[in-house]
Amino acid sequence: MHEVAPTGSRIGRRTVIAGTALAAMVLNPKVGGAGEDSGEGGRLAAAAAVNAGQGRLKQSVCRWCFPKWSVEQLATHASSLGLVGIDLLDPADFPVVKEHGLVCTMVNSHPLTDGLCDPKFHENSLSKLRAAIEATAAEGWRNVICFSGNARGIDPGTGMDHCVEALRKIVPVAQSNGVTLIMELLNSKVNHPDYLCDNSKWGVELVKRVGSEHFKLLYDIYHMQIMEGDVIRTIRENHAHIGHYHTAGNPGRNELNDNQELFYPAIARAIADTGFDGYFAHEFIPKGDALAGLTDAVRQCVV
């Protein structure tokens, strides 16, 4: 069943695939007969024609996925596409994004594997979270990431108790600084074996137990498609507990194209329809031309 666009026209997977193919012809100098000399100009022209600001979602992009670009280059492309900012940066990168009129949509903190479910990592995690909160608040920005960490034999119930204990110490600090802590949902099947916060049910229960608007979940669409699927229904039922989103194609964590199983225009529309006012960040690893992939991802999610 196709989704209905706000204009009343029907948009299905075939339409989006056709748009993706057209973008590839414009962006890739070897597709559609474009000459080598037209490659860079074509890519930049296509990017200039896409404006994330025309949609209802505040789109951004994750830094780590584009290692061949400097932060300056990524910021330039992000600005040209109408993105609001860049995800997962350290304070040293803040001046560059600010020069481009962008924000850091998610600030780094403590290690992913050594997180809040294990008390032996609480001191280090809370110290790094405090520093990240202060740096984020100083810029007037809103989000700091945190992680459950790996279980290392700790059962889910006990791990949740340990997370609640740690979060109740640090969430008041975030609240007093106008910052929200965001715990990421990650898959433990493919990419992050033993990670504890690997399903929506566990994560939502943790948010409820902490009981603060300054602690929410990062719903990573790629990761949760691997762990549980039923993405749109889960988002609709739990959107009040979600403060941030990440995208990527599955399988492979690559571009949002017709080689993967998720249909992002419908997902993006469902998120926008909840009234979500946070950030929606692209976190895919491009297999092909990076600017072409990012441009097409942004285009699909302008809803």
Q: Flag whether pLDDT at 119 surpasses 50.
A: yes
| pLDDT, mean of residues 172-199 | 98
Residues 38-87: tens digit of each pLDDT: 467 777 777 778 999 999 999 999 999 999 999 999 999 999 999 999 99
Q: What is the pTM of this model?
A: 0.87
User: Which residues make beta-bridge pairs with 86?
Assistant: 61, 104
pLDDT bracket for residue 36 (50, 70, 90): very low
Residues 84-104: tens digit of each pLDDT: 999 999 999 999 999 999 999
Q: How far apart are CA 104 and CA 87, in angstroms?
A: 6
Half-sphere exposure for 10 (CA within 13 Å, toward CB): 5
- Full residue range of the structural domain in which residue 49 is found: 3-300
Q: How far apart are CA 84 and CA 103, in angstroms?
A: 6
Q: How far apart are CA 148 and CA 198, in angstroms?
A: 9
Rg of the chain (C-alpha set): 19
Half-sphere exposure for 97 (CA within 13 Å, toward CB): 27
For residue 85 the two structure tokens come to 């900012």
User: Which residues make beta-bridge pairs with 184?
Assistant: 218
pLDDT bracket for residue 114 (50, 70, 90): very high
Give the CATH number of the domain where residue 118 resides: 3.20.20.150
Task: Tell me how long the chain is.
Answer: 303
Q: Flag whether pLDDT at 3 surpasses 70.
A: no
pLDDT at residue 68, rounded to an integer: 97
| pLDDT, mean of residues 255-262 | 97
| pLDDT, mean of residues 146-167 | 98
Q: How far apart are CA 141 and CA 106, in angstroms?
A: 9
pLDDT at residue 44, rounded to an integer: 72
How many structural domains is the chain composed of?
A: 1
Q: How far apart are CA 303 and CA 53, in angstroms?
A: 10
pLDDT at residue 158, rounded to an integer: 98
Q: Residues 81, 47: contact at Cβ < 8 Å?
A: yes
Just list the catalytic residues.
184, 283
Q: Residue 284, SS3?
A: coil
Q: Which residue has the tokens 């597709």?
A: 31
